[in-house]
Chain A
Amino acid sequence: MLIGKVIGNIVSNAKVSELKPMKLYILQVYDYSFSPTERYEVVVDGVGAGIGDYVLFCGGSAARLLKLTEAGVPIDMAIIARIDDFNKLKKD
């Protein structure tokens, strides 16, 4: 699983039918010391996250195990948790 921050969303009317009810968010991927990287991903929202939220997301077949994506939805990444708080161990 990776950490990401929701920075935007994608509007699409012409898409594969299974994707109809899905919200498509743009994430900026953060590394484990919670600093932003240059990597961006588009994911399906599985938990009702909002813009500006920090989230956990997973890829590959794991993304298709959600109740939301059980019907074999052709996606490869999905948000599975919203991060409320985190504590970073200081490396001194």
Chain B
Amino acid sequence: MIIGEIIGTVVSTIKVSKMEQARLKIVKIINPFGKPTGKYFIVEDGVGVGVGEKVLISDDDGVVKRLLGKDNVPIRSAIVAKIDKINIYD
């Protein structure tokens, strides 16, 4: 899973029917030390997190199927957790 920061949302009224209940967020991918990696994702929000929060993203197609409970949803990655604290020891 990768760490991201929510920077915006996506609103779409005309879309594939399977994406009806999808809540799409735009996420900036960062490494555990907060350095942006230059990648941006549009992900399904499985937890309901606000803009500016750090989140954990599962980047695998099987994930969204479980979250939305529907098969062949054309979304690949999803937010699975809101990050409260990142501890680096080493």
Q: Which residues of A contact B (CB under 8 A)?
A: 5-16, 18-19, 24, 26, 28, 40-43, 51-52, 59-61, 64, 72-77
Q: Number of B residues contacting the other chain (C-beta, 8 Å)?
A: 29
Q: Kindly provide the distance from the CB of A83 to the nearest chain B CB, expressed in whole angstroms.
A: 15
A-B contact pairs, 24 of them (CB 8 A): A5-B90, A8-B88, A8-B89, A9-B87, A10-B81, A10-B85, A11-B86, A14-B82, A15-B82, A24-B81, A26-B88, A42-B3, A43-B1, A51-B89, A51-B90, A60-B62, A61-B62, A64-B62, A74-B64, A74-B78, A75-B63, A76-B1, A76-B63, A77-B1
Q: A24-B56, A42-B1, A52-B90 are in contact. Are A10 and B83 (CB under 8 A)?
A: yes
